[in-house]
Chain A
Amino acid sequence: MRSFDLDTRSEGSVTVVSVAGSVDAVTAPRLADTLGAALAAGQVHLVVDLAGVGYVSSAALRALLAGVKGARNGGGDLRLAAVGTDVGKVFEMAGFDGIVQRFDDAAAAVASFD
């Protein structure tokens, strides 16, 4: 079993969701639920920190796209931090790069909301 973990913290008005492990069809619903809960609580400035993620599938993209739509429709945004090479390759193949902003690390993504 591949490990998967989520950690959510607040930095000012920004909610940072740190993800570790593989985000696949089995685990992506947990990411979607976490993002959905943040949005339902009115947290529309979201950073998803992918520093601990080495693999994503289309299920991850669905979860993130739903988060992007929810955040922007609420007047905020969902931004990505620390996208690794393998993960970035999937984003590029899926045409996801033009949709979501990426930053080198979580601190830069959080600061971008200032």
Chain B
Amino acid sequence: MAKALRLTKDATPANLTLFLTLVDVLADQHGLPDDARSDLRLLTEEACTNVVMHAFPGREPGELTLELDYADGVASVTLIDDGVAFSPSDAPRADLGADWQTRREGGVGWHLIRTLSDELEYERVDERNRLTLRKRVATA
């Protein structure tokens, strides 16, 4: 069985591409179908972007650790960061029903995360956020 993939880098926009590359590695390792690869990339991007954009207000970006795993038909995406505490329950709800004039340009990321995830776990441990997203994926 393949080991979980793990990458730790500064939580900067410049490193987003590196984090997303890990999704392709996982998908290649396990022969995940294209739609699952796309969904996992979207989940991972939205979650990583939230950390990069919002976890370190007013200070230098800290580190983000991304762990990806696939076992028994379930892919898991775990993010660990030492930014400000932020539970998904505090995330703003997207105003999906609003018209173009009043609709906010933000708030969609968490909606996509919630829509695409089958399970979502959050805990604050040792001054760190730990967010785990799980998605059922059938291999081809």
Q: List CB contacts (< 8 Å) of B83-140 with chain A.
A: 94, 96-97, 99-101, 103, 105-106, 108-109, 111-112, 115-116
A24 to chain B, nearest CB (A): 6
Our pick among B45, B106, B111 for the contact of A24 (Cβ within 8 Å) is B45
Chain A residue contacts of B108, Cβ below 8 A:
58, 61-62, 94
Tell me whether A26 is interfacial, beta carbon within 8 Å.
Answer: yes
B74 to chain A, nearest CB (A): 21
- For A, the interface residue count at a CB cutoff of 8 angstroms equals 24
A-B contact count (CB 8 A): 63
C-alpha spacing A1/B24, complex, angstroms:
11
C-alpha spacing A101/B103, complex, angstroms:
16
C-alpha spacing A95/B35, complex, angstroms:
20
B25 to chain A, nearest CB (A): 14
B104 to chain A, nearest CB (A): 9
C-alpha spacing A1/B52, complex, angstroms:
19
**Known interface pairs A90-B42, A95-B94; A58-B20 also in contact (CB < 8 Å):** no
C-alpha spacing A26/B115, complex, angstroms:
22
C-alpha spacing A24/B20, complex, angstroms:
10
Binding site for B on A (CB under 8 A): 1-2, 24-26, 54-55, 57-59, 61-62, 65-66, 68-69, 72, 86, 90, 93-95, 99-100
